[in-house]
Amino acid sequence: METVIGLFNYWIVIVLMMAGFYIVIAQENMIKKMVGLSIFQVAVFVFYISMSNVFGGTAPIAAEGFTLYSNPLPHVLILTAIVVGVATTALGLALIVRIKEEFGTIEDDRIRDMEEHGEESEA
């Protein structure tokens, strides 16, 4: 039981990844797919930060009495990844707005049907 509790972060990562993956696969709505991708992305962030945890480590500031330090690089990389993730999500949502203007819908199956049958957009 102690092992399961000790791996709680990894269980959260698995649940978030599978939830995000399911949303991306099961939904036809593009905004819901973007939400699923964001959830999956957060799972990767939590996984990376969980792996970088050093038990008993302290901030990398030289001081007497400390011999074990945590590496700040993973946290800095995750901050950068968060900024890139926000930018790509904004770009994806902007593209969805443009698709809505062009086709009049954001449902994948309806857009696919329109293109296959050569129908004009609803907008």
pLDDT at 46 over 80: yes
What CATH class is the domain 2-54+65-116?
mainly alpha
Contact 9, 3 (CB under 8 A): no
Mean pLDDT, to the nearest integer, of 7-27?
94
Q: How far apart are CA 10 and CA 5, in angstroms?
A: 10
pLDDT at 4 over 80: no
pLDDT at 122 over 60: no
Higher pLDDT: 77 or 66? It is: 77
Chain position carrying tokens 């593009």: 30
Q: How far apart are CA 49 and CA 78, in angstroms?
A: 8
Q: How far apart are CA 122 and CA 104, in angstroms?
A: 5
pLDDT at 120: 65
pLDDT at 123 over 60: no
Chain position carrying tokens 């991306």: 24
Please report, for the chain, the start and end positions of each structural domain, with discontinuous segments joined by +.
Answer: 2-54+65-116
